[in-house]
Amino acid sequence: MAIANLLLSMSVTMLVPALPIWLMSTVNLDSQQTGLAMGAFAVGLFLPGALCSYLVQHYRRNIVFLICVLVLAVSMTLPFYRLPVLHAFPLIIIWRTLQGVAFGLAQMVLTSTLVIDTCESHQRTEANHSATWFGRFALSLGPMFALLLMQLSGLIVPSPITSPAMSTLNVFFLAMVCCIMAVVLVLFIHFPFRVPEDNLHLFSLDRFFLMSGLPLFFNLFLVTLAIGMLMSLPVTIDAYGMVMVGFLLALLAQRFVFCDAELKSEAVSGMLLIGASLIILLASRYSPLTTPILGLGLGLVGGRFLLFFIKLSRHCQRGTSQSTFMLGWESGLAIGVGLGFYVFHNRHMEMLLTALILDIVALLMYVIWTHRWFLAHKNR
């Protein structure tokens, strides 16, 4: 399931560098329309959430996941159709929103239900932590594979016989393959039958959103919003590779540096490192130090906030806390990418300065308010 989460997340992150190229070169959208299309994904993430609890109790939960991933896989085929009516801007917005719906519901079912159902109670925190880390690695691996495929197809290194449309189509095909592979992996897993609750409601916040975690949600959202804006920049394959190096360093730091440290030191260090990477970018945009420091900071913040959400949840709210974390993480990234194209297209220095301000606001919010609030409200 962890590898299935990696493949599912990669299918979406692959589109970050490839989809804007396709939208601008083939559909002929401008930067603002492209930004709206990229941001529409975030809207779709929230739309099915209130139905999640009903669906996983009324139907077999693994089947709900499989259907969602297959819908996402089918949606990857739209760029292959050359019908102009399918490339109209309103339909592109609906298409991206539908992708957000399919991915959001699949993630909610996977992280809030399937991972938890297959683990003993004393292993669930470790399982959530591990599965989420696999999805986090997709943030670097997805764009890396997309950029490498476009380079091999002749888009980044231009070829007279290769158009941008043809090169990006290969990325959509690979994203579809990742979805299918995730489906195959989950099909091999046996999930125990769960008896539905007696009072089953069609709409519910269960497995969707932990209202008591709003401060944590907004704090995390500010950080990922800044990161999403950076992902709208033209980034090289090597840069994404170094982000993964930073993620690996974050795993080591969590194990050996912050295991006995003060509780808030990990999140504070992570946001300080993100801020340091942004300052380096403002001073020297192509510094090789930037991306590993950024990956290290983001990995520390993501890992610590995930545990905070788990500790904040009460009995039978673990799944809800996982979905809330996922929404804060994914929606911040999607809206950040959208803002990068809509507001800051070809205005990179202003974007970097705005991202730095967002990170500083998130750090101050955490130090002044969120951490104290968490200590007063945690349940584990």
Domain count, the chain: 2
Looking at the structure, tell me whether residues 79 and 215 fall in a common domain: no
Instruction: Please provide the average confidence, as pLDDT, over all residues in the chain.
Output: 90
What tens digit of pLDDT does each residue of 88-126 get? 999 999 999 999 999 999 999 998 889 888 888 778 888
Looking at the structure, tell me whether residues 199 and 255 fall in a common domain: no
Looking at the structure, tell me whether residues 69 and 195 fall in a common domain: yes
Its pTM stands at: 0.94
Looking at the structure, tell me whether residues 242 and 333 fall in a common domain: yes
Looking at the structure, tell me whether residues 222 and 196 fall in a common domain: no
pLDDT value at 158 more than 70: no
What tens digit of pLDDT does each residue of 302-339 get? 999 999 999 998 878 888 999 999 999 999 999 999 99
Looking at the structure, tell me whether residues 272 and 181 fall in a common domain: no
- As a whole number, mean pLDDT of residues 45-55 equals 92
Burial of residue 341, with CB atoms counted within 10 A of its CB: 0-12 exposed, 13-18 middle, 19 or more buried = buried
Looking at the structure, tell me whether residues 88 and 168 fall in a common domain: yes
With CA atoms as reference, report the closest residue to 143 among 299, 18, 3: 18
**Is 365:257 a contact under the CB 8 Å cutoff?**
no
Looking at the structure, tell me whether residues 91 and 191 fall in a common domain: yes
| Lookup result for tokens 């990669």 | 10
Looking at the structure, tell me whether residues 70 and 99 fall in a common domain: yes
pLDDT value at 47 more than 50: yes
Q: What angle do CA 340, 337, 240 make, to 5 degrees?
A: 105
Q: What is the CATH number of the domain that holds 92?
A: 1.20.1250.20
**Is 227:143 a contact under the CB 8 Å cutoff?**
no
Query: What domain range is 373 assigned to?
Result: 209-380
Looking at the structure, tell me whether residues 223 and 144 fall in a common domain: no
Looking at the structure, tell me whether residues 107 and 141 fall in a common domain: yes
Around Cβ 364, how many Cβ atoms within 10 Å?
12
Distance in angstroms (rounded) separating the CA atoms of residues 350 and 332: 19
Token pair listed for 358: 């967002």
Domain final residue, candidates 203, 221, 239: 203
Helical ranges in the chain per DSSP H:
2-13, 15-25, 31-46, 52-58, 61-75, 89-109, 115-117, 124-153, 164-187, 214-231, 237-256, 265-283, 290-312, 318-342, 348-365, 371-377
Token pair listed for 284: 């020297």
Domain final residue, candidates 141, 174, 203: 203
